[in-house]
Chain A
């Protein structure tokens, strides 16, 4: 019942300067097909734009697609802004090209999950659902 009443809201954003949004669109579509409401913001978002959209849209989850290699500077900035905006409970996922070594560092910062190019959409959907369930 709670699922029908309260649709999960997810922001899918592409911070940084790379122009490839196919991955982000595939994820957005998969989450939609899993019954979630996906706010898609398009390319080249600054961390401020991502945090502002997360605030106005009151999302449960933020998914960041980063292929440029700038994740170690973009992700902490976004996490910091979410906290500053009073949204520390928002679950942040990162997808894209993320080197193995950076994954534990990102998780330490507070990222809920990291997905590389091989991750199936089922895995992503399950992880998103699980992360939000643990919270409520």
Chain B
């Protein structure tokens, strides 16, 4: 097992090895993380997502440079998709982050999504804990904005930054993607290209269309495990500077990441959102929701594993045979098994 104190004291080799164990779902990682958990909860977790080619990695590069100039330590978790056919992956985010090389205040780790979204969510959550315990103040989590990954990011992060670029489609695309709901800050990158103003305007229009509601996860609401934070009387939209307001109004910023334009404003917006989370009490709320979700997910897995062990293959196979013979349907069989294991 990796000594947790070496992670806490900033041993980068130990941190890198722990991240590998986490990715591989190695049992040793669990005990190390258990020891590290009391040291987590200090970092500002920032998720970045957006369609391929919008400039996420370049923006991460620039944001990190600015954060470093403000003396924040930064860890970057860059997630790229695995091939569904071979399981291999090309992780190329470091190409855009070469400015950050040689800085001991920066740690970059590339992660392949490795297929299952549940597995990715667990590995990401644990990797964030490891980086948090290692003392990084800002943790940037970058995903390709396609599929389940960005929803997992929204659960894991405090602040979600959604990156758009001109020319990717009309405003309906933005609504369809579901990214509008998870964004705390919008960035229209490549703002030097024609159409940037239109993209920003379309985003603004879509945001104004939406009935602003406080964020509550649909599955939590449906199962009724949570007190809904739904506020039925929409307040008038306040100015973006107003941090004491109950509701955060996502700013829409324009950048040219390759030229470093507009970056300070984005860092400023991230900081404002962090203040808002603290001032409004939403930070605790998000953390509670996130940890409750993680607990439930792990409980489900633990119960299932425990149940399989107790049932044994023989009994389970016997039921499979009965289902196969059409003596019982799968749903009833499962319910019966769940009762008397």
Max chain A Cβ within 10 angstroms of own Cβ: one of B17, B82, B92, B110: B110
Partner of A4, one of B12, B87, B89, B109: B87
Chain B residue nearest in CB terms to A25: B90
A31-76 interface with B by 8 A CB criterion: 31-42, 45-46, 48-49, 52-53, 55-58
Majority secondary structure, A binding face: mixed
Is the Cβ of A40 less than 8 Å from the Cβ of B92? yes
Among B94-102, B307-315, B331-339, the one that faces the other chain is: B94-102
Is the Cβ of B112 less than 8 Å from the Cβ of A48? no
CB of A32, distance to nearest CB on chain B (Å): 4
Is the Cβ of B13 less than 8 Å from the Cβ of A85? yes
A123 CB-CB contact with B under 8 Å: no
How big is chain A's contact interface, by range?
20 to 34
Is the Cβ of A39 less than 8 Å from the Cβ of B94? yes
CB of A90, distance to nearest CB on chain B (Å): 12
Partner of A41, one of B16, B86, B95, B102: B95
Supplied contacts A34-B88, A53-B108, 20 more A-B pairs, CB within 8 Å: A5-B24, A5-B25, A6-B24, A32-B89, A33-B83, A35-B87, A37-B88, A39-B91, A39-B110, A40-B90, A40-B94, A42-B94, A49-B101, A49-B102, A52-B101, A56-B107, A56-B108, A56-B109, A57-B110, A58-B19
B20 CB-CB contact with A under 8 Å: yes
CB of A76, distance to nearest CB on chain B (Å): 20
CB of B55, distance to nearest CB on chain A (Å): 16
Write the B53-74 contact mask toward A (1 if CB under 8 angstroms, else 0).
0000000000000000000000
B114 CB-CB contact with A under 8 Å: yes
Given contacts A7-B114, A86-B13, contact A31 B88 (CB under 8 A): yes
Give the A-B contact count at a CB cut-off of 8 A: 85
Measured in the bound complex, the distance between the Cα atoms of B12 and A57 in whole Å is: 10
Is the Cβ of A40 less than 8 Å from the Cβ of B91? yes
Majority secondary structure, B binding face: mixed
Chain A contacts of B87 at CB under 8 A?
4, 7, 35
Chain B contacts of A52 at CB under 8 A?
101-102
Is the Cβ of A38 less than 8 Å from the Cβ of B89? yes
CB of B310, distance to nearest CB on chain A (Å): 23
Measured in the bound complex, the distance between the Cα atoms of B20 and A39 in whole Å is: 14
Is the Cβ of A57 less than 8 Å from the Cβ of B109? yes
Measured in the bound complex, the distance between the Cα atoms of B177 and A88 in whole Å is: 46
Chain A residue nearest in CB terms to B75: A56
A121 CB-CB contact with B under 8 Å: no
Chain A residue nearest in CB terms to B95: A42
Max chain A Cβ within 10 angstroms of own Cβ: one of B20, B102, B109: B20
Chain A contacts of B19 at CB under 8 A?
58
Given contacts A37-B112, A85-B13, contact A53 B24 (CB under 8 A): no
